[in-house]
């Protein structure tokens, strides 16, 4: 549901009738009861905002959630764009949080993974890409004071020394890439042949984004020369970009069709964005008043 809202309403934080959101979510095999429960959970968490007009309820992304999604969308589009250049330095984060702050610890680990870190040891995380400033901002937001952030080069190597790259499960990442390619390459073949309906395009585009968005937090994004042979990052990135952009107009047509059933006046504000627009920031307006 969050991916749907981000892909078709983020630019203007468009209001969407709850009935339309439920119907769209049901296209993924989710029950109406489950879809309405998801709306309630997201509303309680402050991810979406409800508005009532008469007997009708509308939802839109909350401003803070939209800002996070906008930054995340740009990061997804930029993933591996400059992976062939690397200065050889690692960003290293060491932290310690007491058991009474385990929720913060869990959230910090999730944020670090999203920023491209992996745990070399329990409280020592490494990334070849993330800047110290990004980490410091996260630490400040989560009020983590017992931490050290630094940039360093690998000083020793050998069979008895653990390299930073061992923080990643490289075989598992390759399997995830291959699964993505095997699942979605046939969809692109059908699309080129004109064999994808608007409804199928919506489901496929959402699932493609929901799968591909995990790769920036999985892949250390080191130059291919430093990775195992035939590392499939470039192939997956190319497939994602082509599929996401090609499926956009068809998927948007389906979202507009569903929204038109209950709120035809909102149809012009339902719009998709391309990977190039994500990379450029697509004119996102945090006020929700349009680009």
In the chain, the domains with their CATH numbers are 90-152 (3.30.70)
Q: How far apart are CA 44 and CA 39, in angstroms?
A: 9
- Tell me the angle at which helices 132-141 and 102-114 cross, rounded to the nearest 10 degrees: 150
What angle is formed at CA 250 by the lines to CA 245 and CA 256, rounded to 5 degrees?
120
Phi, psi of 87 (to 5 degrees): -85, 0
- Is the model's pLDDT at 115 over the cut of 50? yes
- 283 pLDDT band, cuts 50/70/90, is low
The whole-number pLDDT of residue 192 equals 82
Write out pLDDT tens, residues 25-54.
999 999 999 999 999 999 999 999 999 988
- Is the model's pLDDT at 11 over the cut of 50? yes
| Tokens standing for residue 125 | 């995380």
Write out pLDDT tens, residues 149-208.
999 888 766 666 788 999 999 999 999 999 999 999 988 888 888 878 999 999 999 999
- Is the model's pLDDT at 291 over the cut of 50? no
Q: How far apart are CA 189 and CA 197, in angstroms?
A: 13
- Is the model's pLDDT at 243 over the cut of 70? yes
The whole-number pLDDT of residue 290 equals 40
Is the Cα dihedral 187, 176, 231, 119 positive or negative? positive
**Tokens 């879809």, located at residue:** 35
The mean per-residue pLDDT over the stretch 85-99 comes to 90
Write out pLDDT tens, residues 245-268.
999 999 999 999 999 999 999 999
Least confident of 208-212, 269-273, 279-283: 279-283
* Residues linked to residue 90 through DSSP beta bridges, in sequence order: 152
What angle is formed at CA 211 by the lines to CA 237 and CA 166, rounded to 5 degrees?
75
């Amino acid at each position: 549901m969050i991916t749907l809202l981000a892909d078709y309403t983020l630019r203007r934080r468009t209001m969407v009738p709850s009935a339309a959101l439920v119907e769209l979510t049901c296209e993924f095999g989710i029950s109406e009861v489950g879809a309405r429960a998801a709306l309630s959970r997201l509303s309680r968490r402050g991810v979406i905002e409800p508005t009532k007009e008469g007997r009708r309820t509308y939802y839109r992304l909350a401003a803070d959630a939209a800002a996070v999604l906008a930054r995340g969308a740009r990061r997804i589009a930029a993933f591996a764009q400059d992976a062939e250049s690397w200065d050889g330095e690692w960003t290293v984060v060491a932290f310690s949080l007491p058991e009474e702050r385990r929720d913060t610890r869990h959230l910090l680990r999730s944020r670090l993974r999203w920023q491209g870190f992996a745990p070399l040891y329990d409280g020592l995380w490494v990334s070849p890409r993330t800047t110290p400033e990004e980490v410091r901002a996260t630490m400040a937001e989560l009020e983590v004071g017992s931490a050290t952030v630094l940039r360093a080069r690998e000083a020793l190597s050998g069979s008895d020394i653990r390299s930073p790259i061992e923080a990643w499960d490289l075989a598992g990442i390759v399997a995830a890439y291959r699964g993505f390619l095997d699942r979605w390459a046939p969809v692109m073949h059908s699309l080129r042949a004109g064999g994808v309906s608007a409804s199928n395009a919506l489901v496929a585009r959402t699932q493609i984004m929901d799968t591909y968005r995990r790769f920036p937090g999985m892949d250390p994004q080191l130059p291919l020369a430093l990775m195992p042979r035939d590392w499939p990052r470039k192939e997956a990135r190319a497939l994602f970009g082509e599929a996401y952009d090609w499926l956009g107009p068809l998927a948007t047509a389906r979202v507009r069709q569903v929204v038109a059933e209950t709120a035809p006046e909102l149809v012009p504000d339902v719009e998709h964005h391309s990977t190039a627009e994500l990379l450029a920031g697509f004119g996102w307006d945090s006020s929700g008043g349009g680009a």
